[in-house]
Structure 1
Amino acid sequence: MAAMAEIDSADGNCADQRIVNSLLAELGLGPLDTTPRTYGGRHRNWAGTTVSGTGVFVKRIVPGTLEADRRIRRLIALESADWVPVPRPRCLGWDPKTGLLVYELVTPARDGRQLADDDDFDETIADRMGRLVAKLHDAASPPWLDVSSPRLPPLGEMDALPLEVYRNACAAELELWRLLQKDEALIAALRHLSAIPETLHTPTHCDLRLDQFVIDGSDVQLVDWDELRLADPARDIGAFVGEWLFRSTLGIAPPDAAPDHGAIVARGAARFAAVRPLILSFWQAYREIRREPDTDLGRRSTAFAGWHQLDRVLAAAEGQSRLLPVERAAAGIGRALVLDPGRFAATLGLTI
């Protein structure tokens, strides 16, 4: 796993670290020899070097819920099999009871989000990522691959939020959910998007973001495979495109300012024009490698890029008292792409 953006170099969770060191010892690697680094993300994690000199990245998916247990099973199935369609960090071992998985630490390296933040993400990198994703989608489907429906878009929540989700949601999240649940056209479009024929399904990452790509020189690896399954490949393409679209949208105006409409439109157009060549490089490389992509792939990818805007706004809303104007703008863009992807596919560069 990569040396991602560090958030806490001296985490004090001693109980978890004891569990980590116990597994590392069982694997013959020995305990961590220094206080580990930890990084942002859905799951707790630790990175460091063991007393044997092995660099490790340890991730914990706390077991006990249906979704967490499914994630653990998917990862163990992947790492137990001789199936490596694209490069990924080597798994050194796991413990299903604690939900710990140990990976080889890839360093020095940066992830795609870091490169984008530092303005070091260029068309060559986008090309490599497009080729990698195409190879994944062209891979033979192993018999152990999960065939269940991806958890996103969360169609059940479009009707009603589970009580626990409702109780834990902040005001901005509930504001967005109210908008989504009243939008019958959007819900119908998302249901249609999630119901494509299984004959179009391929091995799909299903949680693709820029920080899931780890870049070490000319090498690109893909990480965080816990949503891997047989699904619509447009999900991965749309997520890559959606990442850049969301980044360009967030920069159209200061968060709490309200400049005139013309200035917002002009700035948004300029920001997207700056990242569109990256999308084109990714898509062209993908098409060069991918064997016979279906003719509707670009349109569906555009729709999933739209869903990605809504998903990112929902993530950004966490902990906020209200949706910011720029987040509402991103949600509006996402809605337009989901409702009429054929109209916007060429604008995004997703033509076949």
Structure 2
Amino acid sequence: MSEETRTRIRVQPVALSSVTHVNGLLSRLELGELSEDEVSSYRGRNDNWSGTTTSGHAVFVKQIVGQPADIQQRIHHMAAFDRLAAHHELEHLSTPRLLGYDLNHQLVVHEYLHGTVSAAELAADDAFTGELAALAGKALAEVHTLGAGRSHADSGTGPLPPVKGLEAIPGSVYAGSSAGSIEAWSILHTDTEVARAIVDLVGEAAAFHRPVHGDLRIDQILWDGERLYLIDWEEFRLGDPARDVGAFAGEWLYRAVNGIPEKVGKDHPGQADHQPTDAEVIAAGTAELDRLRPVTEAFWRGYRSVDASADEDLAVRAVRWAGWHMFDRMLALSEQSSRLPAISRAAAGIGRTALLAPEKFTKTIGLDV
């Protein structure tokens, strides 16, 4: 593992003197206060602060961004999961405890996990092993098999996929979109088969009522050398477990597609201007899938060892969610782009196949039963 990925990536935190409500909340929770000189922050869309307080508590404070009503709902989701987890003897799942929150200032406080590294950072060094993947599968299956009903969690569909945007995006969104983002949306707006498949996927998910993470990404999987943790339960709800399984598989599927340029480059050293043929792109993509598939296979074995009900139907639905994940990545990356990268178009093409013909894709991505 490289030195850069032994700890999670840090950035300069927002000065606590400008956000006095952070220490105000910590004081009300009787956790002490964070010191301006000793606090640190991790890269992400939300401002955050971590460190040890004056009373010796290790805390991670996050200020959630977004619309107020949406933020409050997300905080309630986190609190609901924390209550549910606290009432079960968990064998495989570890997650930092929720210590408190402030709805008015959109703040949440969790216990701070020292010395962790994310699965995304490990993956960048090819250090996320099959053993860790199996642990992630077991942890996620334990979430899905927790006894929970509608009194424990919401059963709404969640903000993604953006079903309303599949027909058209609002003028205000269009005006603020990058050229790359508009190009990405045009792919979805002109491919009626894919748009219908995504709408159907969301509709079918409403028939399932099992606890799910709801927004799983591999940067939400942390490893401290001894235990694996799942974090960020803002979209926790009752839903289809295939969504989470597909999100994990989709992360590795996307990594395989994203690795095509590097693989082609290695096959043509010293030829920076080489334009790969379609055959070379397909060969590189196949090689990357073969290289990364064992991670998803290990995850799926771990998952099925805990959830005996996991079957081919779950795998097929998960492939469809993995297909959506490819479009989700395309949309996310296009937001800051002046044009849609070729690799995003390739990801969308694979996502289309996974959405429309999932039965042919289970073995390809490592979810074979």
2:135 to 128, 131, 147: 128
Between the two proteins, the alignment pairs up a number of residues equal to 349
Deviation at 1:160, TM superposition (A): 1.6
Match of 2:245 among 237, 247, 255: 237
- Of 112-121 and 7-16, more deviation after overlay is shown by 7-16
Pair 289,327 (structure 1): closer, same or farther in 2 beyond 3 Å: same
* Alpha carbons of structure 1 residues 10 and 296: separation in structure 2 relative to 1, 3 Å: closer
Q: CA RMSD in A?
A: 2.1
Q: How far off its partner does 1:35 sit? A: 4.5
Aligned counterpart, 1:157: 165
Tell me what 1:339 maps to: 356
Report deviation, 1:4: 6.3
CA gap 1:179/1:199 in 2 versus in 1, 3 angstroms: closer
Residue of structure 2 in register with 1:57 after alignment: 60
Stretch deviating more after TM superposition (48-57 or 118-127): 48-57
CA distance in 2, matches of 1:139, 1:164: 41
Partner of 1:100: 107
Q: Deviations over 1:232-262 (max 9, x none)?
A: 1110001001111111111101699732222
Q: Secondary structure at the match of 1:242?
A: helix
What per-residue deviation string (whole Å, max 9, x for no partner) do you get for residues 78-119 of structure 1? 335534553210111111111111111111111111111122
Seq. identity, %: 38
Distance in 1 (CA, whole Å) between partners of 2:22 and 2:74 is: 19
The aligned residue for residue 180 of structure 1 is 188
Paired residue secondary structure (2:308): coil
The residue matched to 2:55 in structure 1 has which SS?
Answer: coil
Which residue is 2:3 aligned to? none
Tell me the SS of whatever aligns to 1:350.
coil
Q: Secondary structure at the match of 1:125?
A: helix
**Alignment-derived partner of residue 11 in structure 1:** 14
1:312 aligns with 2:329: yes
- Per the alignment, residue 118 of structure 1 pairs with 125
Question: How far apart are residue 346 of structure 1 and its match?
Answer: 1.8
Q: Is the 8 A contact 2:16 2:22 kept in 1?
A: no
- Residue in structure 2 matched with residue 27 of structure 1 by the alignment: 29
Moved more, 235-244 or 94-103: 94-103
Match runs of 1:273-284 below 5 Å? 273-284=290-301
Q: Secondary structure at the match of 1:296?
A: helix
Gapped regions of structure 2 (runs ≥ 5): 1-5, 266-272
Secondary structure (helix, strand or coil) at the match of 1:194 reads helix
Supply the distance in 2 between the matched residues of 1:80 and 1:140 (Cα, whole angstroms): 12
Tell me the residue number matched to 2:315: 298
C-alpha separation in 1, matches of 2:155 and 2:261: 42
Tell me if the contact between 1:205 and 1:227 (Cα under 8 Å) persists in the aligned partners: yes
Change (3 A) 1:7 1:303: same
One-letter code aligned to 1:351: D
Amino acid of the structure 2 residue aligned with 1:144: H
Q: Does 2:227 correspond to 1:219?
A: yes
Contact 1:58 1:101 (C-alpha < 8 Å) held by counterparts: yes
Q: Which blocks of at least 5 consecutive residues in structure 1 are unaligned?
A: none
- Displacement after TM superposition at 1:314 (Å): 1.1
Aligned to 1:73: 76
Is the 1:137–1:204 Cα contact (8 Å) retained in structure 2? Answer: yes
1:248 has 2:243 as partner: no
CA distance in 1, matches of 2:351, 2:113: 34
Indicate whether 1:139 and 2:146 are aligned: yes
The one-letter code of the counterpart of 1:306 is G
Residues 64, 178 of structure 1: CA spacing in aligned structure 2 closer, same or farther, 3 A cutoff?
closer
**How far apart, CA to CA, are the structure 2 residues paired with 1:284 and 1:161?**
40
What residue identity is the alignment partner of 2:211?
P
What letter is aligned with 2:320? Answer: A
Q: Does 1:264 align with 2:281?
A: yes
Asked whether the equivalents of residues 134 and 290 of structure 1 are also in contact (C-alpha less than 8 Å), the reply is: yes
Instruction: Give the match's secondary structure for 1:94.
Output: strand
Shift of 1:148: 0.7
**3-state DSSP class of the match of 1:311?**
helix
The 2-side partners of 1:64 and 1:156 are apart by 18
Residues 283-317 of structure 1, C-alpha deviation per residue, up to 9 Å, x if partnerless?
11111210313541111101111111110111111
Q: Are 1:210 and 2:227 an aligned pair?
A: no
- Indicate how the Cα distance of structure 1 residues 27 and 288 shifts in structure 2: closer, same or farther if over 3 A, else same: same
Indicate conservation of the 8 Å contact 1:138/1:291, yes or no.
Answer: no
**Are the equivalent residues in 2 in contact too, given 1:63–1:69 (CA < 8 A)?**
no
Q: TM-score, normalised by structure 2?
A: 0.89
Asked whether the equivalents of residues 254 and 326 of structure 2 are also in contact (C-alpha less than 8 Å), the reply is yes
Relative to structure 1, the CA distance from residue 14 to residue 329 in structure 2 (aligned partners, 3 Å threshold; closer, same or farther) is farther
TM-superposed CA distance for 1:351, in Å, is: 2.3
2:270 aligned residue? none
